[in-house]
């Protein structure tokens, strides 16, 4: 007689707290490594001196303060917002978690920015943010409508999201191909933290604050069903402005947080910590691979989004090959 092995996960507050503290520890290590490593490596003492006493070593202070620190902050903010957005999209689509990247939400936001830049390159930052927010809002609304239209067939909603995630970047590339603006396409549609500075941080800060406030409001007023939808769209838009359209981060962070905690507040906080940890680690790995790879041609650095695409394909293949259950 065949029996199916089912594994039940017992969620405990202790496991969620332990995972949160583990993320904090790993984040501290990754932050130090991100500030130390690069084209010009710095010792721990020189890196710390550049932060505390910038006048003692102007060259190191310029590298750490003007180049690596804003990039690190943008990676942390983008990863956290993608993780929290995945949890909110799960509420909207009535699932555990949905990746803002591979569900097409961030891809439509990136397409909005590219479409605006293709028509007029000299656009103010607030116009780009409106275009990104509108695209992410459309993507989140489509996800919600698909979940309501096929409540018992989540595979259809996932297929629509994947189609948007793949189709929107192709359309954006078609808009830019005439001008060969590969860097612009990589920055928005593939995802990259290359050459991020304080100007990018200041531009992304208003949308980041608005997204964080909306996420907090969704916890204070859980009965208002439109708040999770708005929070998911704004979180995806702010993350897209910070680092471009990124996949896999939200899926992993959101699902792990959902597995480790039953409380919505703890899920959001844990998903934010997991997303920040994953993206900062992926960015550090992309920078390390750039140093070992030959010249990349039109771009000077391996985009972190390309690394996440490869990891996504690998995880998809492993998930397809791994059996769901065993019989004995």
The answer to whether residues 235 and 100 touch, using CB atoms and an 8 Å cutoff, is yes
Tell me the average pLDDT across 237-261.
93
Segments in the chain forming alpha helices (H)? 13-36, 44-52, 58-63, 69-93, 105-119, 125-149, 154-176, 182-185, 198-220, 226-243, 249-260, 264-292, 304-321
Q: Is residue 250 part of a domain?
A: yes
Task: Render the burial of 119-141: b for 16+ CB within 10 Å, e for the rest.
Answer: eeeeeeeeebbbbbbbbbbbbbe
The CA distance from 200 to 195, in Å, is 9
Q: Is residue 54 part of a domain?
A: no
- Please enumerate in sequence order all residues whose Cβ is within 8 A of that of 72, keeping only pairs 6 or more positions apart, or say none: 31, 34, 35, 280
Tell me the average pLDDT across 300-314.
89
Number of folded domains that form the chain:
1
Q: With bands split at pLDDT 50, 70 and 90, how would you rate the model's confidence at 7? A: very low
**Residue 3's pLDDT is what?**
40
- Classify 93 as helix, strand or coil: helix
Cα torsion 187, 192, 195, 200: sign: positive
- Across 49-58, 105-114, 146-155, 186-195, least confident range: 146-155
Q: Which domain holds residue 112?
A: 83-320
Span 166-177, pLDDT tens digits:
999 999 888 877
- CA distances to 121, 122, 203, 248 from 125, rounded to whole Å, are 11, 9, 6, 27
Q: Is residue 32 part of a domain?
A: no
Q: Is residue 284 part of a domain?
A: yes
**Percent of the residues in the chain that have a pLDDT greater than 90, as a whole number:** 53
The CA distance from 151 to 11, in Å, is 26
Dihedral pair phi/psi, residue 96, rounded to 5°: -65, -50
Structure tokens at 20: 């949160």
The CA distance from 93 to 44, in Å, is 45
Place of tokens 């001008």: 179
Q: Is residue 55 part of a domain?
A: no
pLDDT at residue 147 is higher than 90: no
Q: Is residue 156 part of a domain?
A: yes
Q: Is residue 72 part of a domain?
A: no
The CA distance from 132 to 183, in Å, is 18
**The domain that contains 222 carries what CATH number?**
1.10.3470.10
pLDDT at residue 10 is higher than 70: no
Q: How many beta carbons lie within 10 A of that of residue 106, not counting itself?
A: 35
For the chain, give the mean pLDDT. Answer: 86
Q: Is residue 114 part of a domain?
A: yes
Place of tokens 């929290």: 84
Instruction: Indicate left, alpha or beta for 245 from its phi (over 0: left) and psi (-120 to 50: alpha).
Output: beta
Burial of 118 (0-12, 13-18, 19+ CB in 10 A): middle
């Amino acid at each position: 007689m065949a029996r199916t092995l089912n594994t039940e996960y017992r969620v405990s507050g202790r496991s969620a707290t332990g995972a949160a503290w583990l993320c904090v520890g790993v984040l501290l290590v990754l932050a130090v490594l991100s500030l130390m490593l690069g084209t010009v490596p710095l010792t721990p003492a020189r890196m710390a001196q550049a932060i505390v006493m910038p006048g003692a070593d102007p060259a190191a202070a310029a590298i750490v303060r003007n180049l690596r620190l804003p990039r690190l902050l943008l990676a942390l903010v983008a990863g956290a917002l993608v993780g929290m957005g995945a949890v909110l999209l799960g509420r909207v689509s009535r699932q555990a978690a949905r990746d803002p990247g591979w569900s097409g939400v961030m891809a439509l936001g990136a397409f909005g920015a590219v479409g605006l830049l293709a028509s007029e390159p000299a656009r103010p930052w607030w116009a780009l943010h409106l275009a990104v927010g509108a695209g992410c809002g459309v993507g989140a609304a489509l996800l919600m409508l698909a979940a309501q239209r096929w409540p018992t067939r989540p595979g259809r909603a996932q297929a629509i999201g994947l189609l948007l995630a793949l189709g929107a970047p192709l359309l954006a590339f078609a808009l830019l191909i005439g001008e060969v603006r590969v860097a612009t396409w990589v920055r928005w549609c593939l995802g990259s933290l290359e050459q991020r500075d304080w100007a990018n941080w200041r531009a992304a800060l208003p949308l980041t604050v608005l997204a964080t406030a909306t996420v907090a409001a969704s916890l204070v007023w859980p009965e208002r069903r439109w708040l999770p939808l708005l929070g998911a769209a704004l979180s995806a838009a702010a993350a897209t402005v910070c680092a471009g359209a990124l996949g896999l981060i939200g899926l992993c962070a959101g699902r792990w947080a959902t597995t480790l905690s039953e409380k919505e507040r703890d899920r959001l906080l844990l998903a934010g910590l997991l997303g920040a940890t994953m993206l900062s680690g992926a960015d550090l790995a992309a920078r390390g691979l750039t140093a070992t790879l030959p010249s990349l041609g039109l771009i000077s650095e391996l985009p972190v989004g390309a690394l996440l695409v490869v990891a996504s394909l690998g995880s998809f293949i492993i998930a397809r090959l791994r059996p769901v259950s065993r019989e004995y």
